[in-house]
């Protein structure tokens, strides 16, 4: 279509031509039509002519002038008109194409347009504009001389037009970084002269066409960051001139790296990262003599690295991390003289680190973390003069730290934690003047910490925790002005804390706990304005808590428990403190009123000291306080009413073993969130009526006081153990309370009820038996039919090396091998010819492709130690099969409710299971991008490994979603997906009310599993009173103030008090999870934190377990962003400190 102005001018000119016979002189020159007026229309006319007044000529000449004013619309040539027409169809923001003016004769001077010597458009290069429209190919088909078309970052949408193949001279096509969708049209591969094809960073789907092999002149092929699927076509080997091939970021790209890739001998860059490519790296990779970068990380590669890799003599960067590569690191890599970066972390590599790596003089980054490597750190590493980062964490490396490492004077990161390294830290480490990070925690190091480390002036973080280091802390360490983190916990260090600590002004985190440090806390610590976290607990420190500590204005965490500190507690503590633990010392004197200034305080533990006097009323201004422990002191006077004003007190209030007198303050009735109250061993009087309203109490101890009167008439008090009420001579229990509420009545109604129940049970049993027989008969018929069918057209994808044929699997899909059923299929236990046992899930029907694809898309792209591992899958028109690791101990449900109920029911085992499942869900919700909702969390979907380690399974209902996992995930925006549904008894209330389904729905289901583990009852247990659901049964029990311990599985009774305390606290966590309102349920990462807090686990467990679970796109923790060059894809070991609270 022509522009409006052009149409208008043509109409006017037509009128003019009708009035006057204007001569049009040809040819057309640059699109300009030349007009001439016949001479007989000259203003001077003869008398013989027809008489016409002069005004008439003026009137007739006006249309001509009007027409002439529109002539510029004719000035633009045909190619310019095509470009201008495309511009008119765009929704352009701003004046991006302001230079595209229809008044120009030619578009050759327009922005982004270049012409050849003939004035024909040869190049279009537009980048970084918001044009918002469709690609212009159908409009620009007349640009036959076009050699380069770049339309990058323009916000173009729609599909790539098939007409793209009409540019015979096109050498470069760049449509990258738009929002293009659909498949790659095969017509592109008719462009025989094409050298560069960039379609990356779009939403393209479908497979990479095999016709790609037709572009034999192709030099660059960029397909990364799309939604492409299928396999890399073997025809890729026809591209002999190909130098750059990048197809990473296509999660559904599967199959093996084709052997034919070795035919692309000019390849310089091979990028296939973050895909589902599996199998071995082909030996033909050795043919790539010019390749400089091989990046196939975060995929599913297995098998060994081929020795032929050593033939890639130009290789500079080898990125194969986060795969399942096995075998040893080939020694041939040592022949790669130009190698700069070697990233092999998080694989299954074994054997020794080859000494030949020391022959790669250009190496600056080595990361072999999270493998199974053994042997010593090669001394040849000392030859690597350019080495900047050496990361060997989480292996089984032994031997000593070689002194030769001191020759690597450019080294900035040395991470060798979580190994079996012995011996002393070499004093020559002081030669590493560029070192910024030194992690050697969780080893078997001995000897002293060398003072020579002080010469490493750039050091920012030192973590030598969990070793057997001895001697004193060298004072020179505190001369490191850049040091922010010093972690030396759980060693055998002695001596005093040097006063030089005050020089370390950038120190942010200090952990020296669990040693034998003596002396006093130096006053100079008050110089550390940036100090945020201090843990000096479990040492032998003496003296007072210096008032100078108030100078640590950024301090939030202060733990000094289990020392021998004395003196009074001054009211000059840092105002930002959130955690104080001074328990188990010899502190004395009154608690200062200044304690009320700590308005951010959440936990205050002063137990087992010698504090005296009254509790200052100013403590009521600590409005964030959740835990207050003043037990085992010498406090006296009355308990202040103001304690009842701290509504945030939810964890515990302990005032036991003091000298308090008087009555319980009436304000205590306002502590409705309090879980634990201990006021035992005082001299309190009065009654306990004020406590009857504390509905969240799970533990109460009032023993050894002088309370009197009738015990509150509530189920909670009725169930209190006598030991928690002992030595209160005036307390008594009324006969009404001691009378059983379920007294004996007439036996006739009970007998009738029993008979009715038996009749119903028999009827139901008969129906179930008939259904079972019918199901077995149908299953056998189906199995026979499947076995008799011709098995063809199998599509098979394996993520691990497995030696079997499809026949080996199909012939064993019999009822005798069934081990369980799930929401989407039946699971068989099958042993393949190699002797390995697999769990094979057969989908219920061939139509159930949604669940099948969900399992593949979810489990195929994630890995976590508590999530079942998908080994592969296969399908044809009749069957869809999934292969998993076989887990021998069944499910959590079978352990709790099955015939063998006696096994694996100890609380410790149950706790480990629920904590593992919590870690798995927290990983799905918070570490995966996009976040994943499991959708069917239940005890049957928690499988147990050989050591009863838990694995979350059955992802048939899982969904990957977009949105912030911390604020909820709105599935309503995904109209193309069915709503999530779970298993009855575990589904959150929002399923029934058609509210939006978020990650909080998984939290509810998890809470039901927690209750199931604690009570030993199925959510739909028929024995529950009134046929109630488990959640309602628990809720009613607690609402009636009954003893919470009576909710616990009888098999868990008789445990020690600490264990009972753990179980009751876990019950409180479960109660939070099953809140009817999704907004009131905690996040799974908070559930993990609460469960971990309940059991004070070994703080030596590395953050590695949580941070480095890999796949789906794992988030980098922003702890020390300046310490790691993330762009190089190095592992997260830099962020894994020895203490969980980092």
Residues of the binding site for ATP? 842
Return the number of other C-beta atoms located less than 10 Å from residue 79's C-beta: 22
Measured CA to CA in angstroms, residue 387 lies from 363, 570, 1085 at distances of 6, 51, 37
CA 803, 805, 809, 811: dihedral to nearest 10 degrees?
-140
List b or e across 339-375, with b for residues whose CB sees 16 or more CB atoms inside 10 angstroms: bbbbbbbbbbbbeebbbbbbbbeebbbbbbbbbebbe
Main-chain phi, psi angles of 173, to 5 degrees: -130, 115
- Binding residues, by number, are 842
834 backbone φψ class: left, alpha, beta (φ>0; ψ -120 to 50): alpha
Return the number of other C-beta atoms located less than 10 Å from residue 62's C-beta: 11
Proportion of the chain in helix, strand, coil states, percent, rounded to 5? 30, 20, 50
Task: Give the C-alpha separation, 927 to 107, whole Å.
Answer: 51
Task: Give the C-alpha separation, 294 to 311, whole Å.
Answer: 13
Beta carbons of 683 and 708 less than 8 angstroms apart? no
Task: Give the C-alpha separation, 1017 to 1008, whole Å.
Answer: 10
Burial tier of 320 (Cβ tally within 10 Å: 0-12, 13-18, 19+): buried
Q: Which residues make Cβ contacts (< 8 Å) with residue 381, sequence separation at least 6?
A: 357, 358, 387, 390, 402, 404, 405, 408
Which has the closest alpha carbon to 858: 792, 954, 762? 954
Task: Give the C-alpha separation, 1066 to 1062, whole Å.
Answer: 6
Run of H or E including 534: strand 533-535
- What's the per-residue H, E or C state across 934-994? CCCCCHHHEEECCCCCEEECCCCCCEECCCCCCCCCCHHHCCCCCCCCCCCCCCCHHHHCC
Pair of tokens at residue 769 = 């038996």
Task: Give the C-alpha separation, 322 to 345, whole Å.
Answer: 6
Run of H or E including 511: strand 509-511
Task: Give the C-alpha separation, 1103 to 441, whole Å.
Answer: 12
Three-state SS at 885: strand
How far apart, in Å, do the first and last CA atoms of the chain sit? Answer: 65
CA 252 to chain centroid:
19
CA angle 82, 86, 88 (to 5 degrees): 115
Task: Give the C-alpha separation, 526 to 683, whole Å.
Answer: 40
Output DSSP code: residue 1058: H
From the candidates 936, 954, 1049, 1139, which is the catalytic residue?
Answer: 936
Task: Give the C-alpha separation, 358 to 335, whole Å.
Answer: 10
Task: Give the C-alpha separation, 1121 to 1135, whole Å.
Answer: 9
Q: DSSP letters along 105-162, please?
A: S-GGGSTTEEE-TTS-EEEEEEES----S---TTT-TT-TT--EEEEESS--EEEPPG
Tokens 């009032």 — which residue?
702
CA 796, 800, 804, 805: dihedral to nearest 10 degrees?
10
User: Given the DSSP bridges, would you call strands 113-115 and 121-127 parallel, antiparallel or unpaired?
Assistant: antiparallel
Active site residue 1086: no
Which are the catalytic amino acids? 936
């Amino acid at each position: 279509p022509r522009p409006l102005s052009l149409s208008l001018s043509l109409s006017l000119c037509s009128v003019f031509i009708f009035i006057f016979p204007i001569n049009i002189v040809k040819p057309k020159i640059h699109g300009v039509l030349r007009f001439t007026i016949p001479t007989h229309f000259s203003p001077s006319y003869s008398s013989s002519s027809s008489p016409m007044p002069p005004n008439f000529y003026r009137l007739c000449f006006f249309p001509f002038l009007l027409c002439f004013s529109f002539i510029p619309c004719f000035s633009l040539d045909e190619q310019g008109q095509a470009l201008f027409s495309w511009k008119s169809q765009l929704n352009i923001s701003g004046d991006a194409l302001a230079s595209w003016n229809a008044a120009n004769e030619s578009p050759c001077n327009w922005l982004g347009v270049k012409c050849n010597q003939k004035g024909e458009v040869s190049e279009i290069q537009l980048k970084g504009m918001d044009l918002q429209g469709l690609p212009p190919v159908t409009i620009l088909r007349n640009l036959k001389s076009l050699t380069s078309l770049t339309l990058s970052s323009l916000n173009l949408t729609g599909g790539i037009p098939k007409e793209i193949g009409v540019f015979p001279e096109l050498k470069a096509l760049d449509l990258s970084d738009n929002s293009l969708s659909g498949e790659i049209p095969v017509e592109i591969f008719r462009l025989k002269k094409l050298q560069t094809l960039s379609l990356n960073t779009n939403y393209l789907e479908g497979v990479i066409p095999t016709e790609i092999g037709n572009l034999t002149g192709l030099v660059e092929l960029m397909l990364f960051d799309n939604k492409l699927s299928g396999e890399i076509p073997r025809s890729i080997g026809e591209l002999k001139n190909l130098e750059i091939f990048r197809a990473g970021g296509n999660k559904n790209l599967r199959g093996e790296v084709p052997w034919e890739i070795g035919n692309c001998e000019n390849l310089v860059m091979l990028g296939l990262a973050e895909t589902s490519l599996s199998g071995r790296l082909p030996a033909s990779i050795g043919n790539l003599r010019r390749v400089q970068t091989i990046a196939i990380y975060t995929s599913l590669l297995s098998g060994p690295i081929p020795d032929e890799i050593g033939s890639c003599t130009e290789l500079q960067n080898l990125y194969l991390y986060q795969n399942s590569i096995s075998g040893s690191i080939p020694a041939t890599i040592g022949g790669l003289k130009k190698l700069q970066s070697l990233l092999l972390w998080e694989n299954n590599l074994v054997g020794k680190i080859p000494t030949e790596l020391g022959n790669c003089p250009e190496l600056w980054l080595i990361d072999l973390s999270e493998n199974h490597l053994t042997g010593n750190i090669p001394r040849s590493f000392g030859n690597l003069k350019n080495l900047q980062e050496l990361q060997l964490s989480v292996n089984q490396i032994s031997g000593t730290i070689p002194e030769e490492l001191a020759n690597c004077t450019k080294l900035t990161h040395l991470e060798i934690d979580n190994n079996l390294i012995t011996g002393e830290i070499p004093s020559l480490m002081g030669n590493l003047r560029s070192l910024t990070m030194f992690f050697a925690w969780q080893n078997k190091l001995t000897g002293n910490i060398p003072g020579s480390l002080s010469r490493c002036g750039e050091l920012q973080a030192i973590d030598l925790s969990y070793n057997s280091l001895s001697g004193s802390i060298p004072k020179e360490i505190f001369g490191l002005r850049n040091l922010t983190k010093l972690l030396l916990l759980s060693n055998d260090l002695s001596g005093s804390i040097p006063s030089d600590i005050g020089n370390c002004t950038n120190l942010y985190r200090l952990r020296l706990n669990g040693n034998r440090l003596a002396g006093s806390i130096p006053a100079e610590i008050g110089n550390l304005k940036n100090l945020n976290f201090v843990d000096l607990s479990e040492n032998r420190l003496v003296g007072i808590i210096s008032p100078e500590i108030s100078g640590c204005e950024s301090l939030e965490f202060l733990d000094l428990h289990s020392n021998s500190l004395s003196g009074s507690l001054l009211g000059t503590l840092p105002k930002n403190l959130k955690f104080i633990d001074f328990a188990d010392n010899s502190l004395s004197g009154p608690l200062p009123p200044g304690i009320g200034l700590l308005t951010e305080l959440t936990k205050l533990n002063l137990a087992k000291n010698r504090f005296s006097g009254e509790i200052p009323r100013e403590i009521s201004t600590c409005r964030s306080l959740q835990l207050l422990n003043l037990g085992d002191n010498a406090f006296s006077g009355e308990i202040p009413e103001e304690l009842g004003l701290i509504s945030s007190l939810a964890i515990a209030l302990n005032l036991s073993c003091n000298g308090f007198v008087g009555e319980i303050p009436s304000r205590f009735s306002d502590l409705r969130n309090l879980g634990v109250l201990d006021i035992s061993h005082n001299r309190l009087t009065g009654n306990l009526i004020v406590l009857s309203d504390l509905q969240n109490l799970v533990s109460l101890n009032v023993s050894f006081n002088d309370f009197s009167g009738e015990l509150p008439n509530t189920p909670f008090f009725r169930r209190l153990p006598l030991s928690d009420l002992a030595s209160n001579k005036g307390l008594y229990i009324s006969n009404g309370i001691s009378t059983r509420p379920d007294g004996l009545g007439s036996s006739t109604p009970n007998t009738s009820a029993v008979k009715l129940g038996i009749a119903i049970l028999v009827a139901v049993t008969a129906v179930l038996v008939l259904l079972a027989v019918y199901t077995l008969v149908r299953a056998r018929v189906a199995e026979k039919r499947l076995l008799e069918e011709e098995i063809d057209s199998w599509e098979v994808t394996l993520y691990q090396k497995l030696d079997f044929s499809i026949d080996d699997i199909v012939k064993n899909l019999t009822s005798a091998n069934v081990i369980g059923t799930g929401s989407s299929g039946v699971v068989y236990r099958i042993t393949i010819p190699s002797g390995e046992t697999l769990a094979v899930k057969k989908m219920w029907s061939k139509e159930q492709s949604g669940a099948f694809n969900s399992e593949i898309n979810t489990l195929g792209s994630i890995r976590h130690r508590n999530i079942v591992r998908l080994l592969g899958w296969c399908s044809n028109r009749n069957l869809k099969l999934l292969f998993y690791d076989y887990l021998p101990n069944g499910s959590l449900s079978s352990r709790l409710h099955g015939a063998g109920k006696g096994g694996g029911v100890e609380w410790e085992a149950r706790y480990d299971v629920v904590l593992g499942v919590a870690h798995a869900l927290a990983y799905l919700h918070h570490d995966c991008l996009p976040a994943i909702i499991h959708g069917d969390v239940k005890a049957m979907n928690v499988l147990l490994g050989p050591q009863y380690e838990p694995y979350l399974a059955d992802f048939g209902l899982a969904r990957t979603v977009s949105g912030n996992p911390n604020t909820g995930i709105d599935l309503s925006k995904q109209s193309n997906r069915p709503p999530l549904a779970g298993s009855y008894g575990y589904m959150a209330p929002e399923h029934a009310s058609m509210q939006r389904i978020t990650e909080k729905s998984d939290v509810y289901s998890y809470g039901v599993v927690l209750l199931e583990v604690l009570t030993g009852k199925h959510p739909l247990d028929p024995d529950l009173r009134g046929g109630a659901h488990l959640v309602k049964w628990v809720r009613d029990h607690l609402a009636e103030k009954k003893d919470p311990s009576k909710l616990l599985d009888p098999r868990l009774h008789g445990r020690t008090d600490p264990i009972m305390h753990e179980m009751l606290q876990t019950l409180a966590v479960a109660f939070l999870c099953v809140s009817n309102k999704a907004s009131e349920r905690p996040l799974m990462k908070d559930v993990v934190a609460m469960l971990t807090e309940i059991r004070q686990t070994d703080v030596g467990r590395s953050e590695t377990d949580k941070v480095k679970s890999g796949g789906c796109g794992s988030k980098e923790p922003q702890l020390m962003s300046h310490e790691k060059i993330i762009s190089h894809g190095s592992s997260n070991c830099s962020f894994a400190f020895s203490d969980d609270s980092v």
